Amino acid sequence: MLRKKLIVLSVMTSLTLSGCSKNESVSDIEETNNDISVEATEAPIAPEQEAVISEEENLIIPEDKPDLVHYTVPGGEYSEQCGFKDEAGDVVVKAEYDFCGGFNEGMAYLLKKNMKSDSDGGYYIGYANSSGEIVIPVDIAADYGWMLDARDFSEGLVAVLKKDKWGYMDKKGNTIIPFEYETASDFSNGLATVSKDYKYGAINHNGKKIIALKYGHLGEFEEGLAAFNSVDSDKQGFINTKGNVIVDPVWNQAMPFSEGLAAVAKGDYENAKWGFIDTTGQVVIEPKYDYVSIDPGGDSPDVIGGYFKNGTIEVYQEDENGQVTAITIDKNGKELKHKNYENFSGVLDEMYN
């Protein structure tokens, strides 16, 4: 899978486990790393903004733009509509949108229900800059059915879907890369992964094909490497930004690199064991863990975890009764902490509460 920010317009209904690639998911219930909040009343409020809160409004300081305030008023598809105010409390983007993203690279997405759509997931999407200007009008039909994929800007461009084809726009609303791809990732390491006719490759900021569209799948580049498999095999390895094979495709599953290591698995989907390799393909931690990430299930395609952060990662073992042990390990595989749960729902409950 390609890493991307997703808004899933339904409540999580089940729990499964997966080794899929990293995504950041936003659903009806607020999850970690959110850019927006449907339940805005639960978001933290900065003390310096308390004076401008009324009974009908809740103010949220966007993560990376503290001088614009995300505010909501009653109404809209989810009982609230959102917009932005400046630090003086003056409205710069009127609260008339169903979802408002956080600011990334000085840009935030805006979503408004498409009342003409036959789909529950039918929305219009556009983008505002940090001055409150709607630089990409909220008139791009984003009818995705059950799932709505609203992207943030990355490396100066944003992936946008128009009429079932992906392309890229800049911060002035200009189309930089034509709308011609079936799938498109965010830019990372100067490249974006795209596909046509079910074959994957990579393009640069100008839309030039740097890696030919010839793979059965190609992940997003992280730390200069991306997981791939050929069209005639499901086995995964890693290529660099020049398309050279760095890690031979011998793994049944693979996740992107983080802090110099990538999670890889041997065995079929149900019985795979996970370990970690370095950027040369050498096994650093032998495959022995049942899971390295959690899939919250339902309509969300995202997984939680699977990446080292500050030198540690949480991996999981599940016994025959469904009881789960969460194990914190370091980059050498040393087990630093164990914590037991009745099941994976218990792990998720602790994460969200």
Give the pLDDT of residue 143: 62
Bridge-based pairing of strands 209-215 and 183-184 is unpaired
Pair of tokens at residue 200: 């994957």
User: Can you read off the two tokens belonging to residue 95?
Assistant: 């609260």
What is the distance between the alpha carbons of residues 38 and 20, in angstroms, rounded to a whole number?
26
pLDDT cut 90: percent of the chain above it: 63
Closest CA to 254 of 25, 23, 22, 33: 22
pTM: 0.76
225-229 and 158-162: which strand pairing? unpaired
pLDDT digits (tens, 9 = 90+) for 144-156: 655 678 899 999 9
pLDDT recorded at residue 116: 72
Residues 6+ apart with CB under 8 A from 306: 19, 21, 22, 255, 263, 292, 293, 313
Q: Give the H or E element holding residue 350.
A: helix 344-352
Of the CA atoms within 13 Å of residue 250, those in its CB half-sphere come to 7
Range with lowest mean pLDDT among 136-145, 159-168, 222-231: 136-145
**Residue 269: helix, strand or coil by DSSP?**
coil
- pLDDT digit string (tens) for 293-345? 988 765 455 688 999 999 999 999 999 999 999 999 999 999 999 999 999 88
Looking at the chain, the number of H-run helices and the number of E-run strands are 1, 30
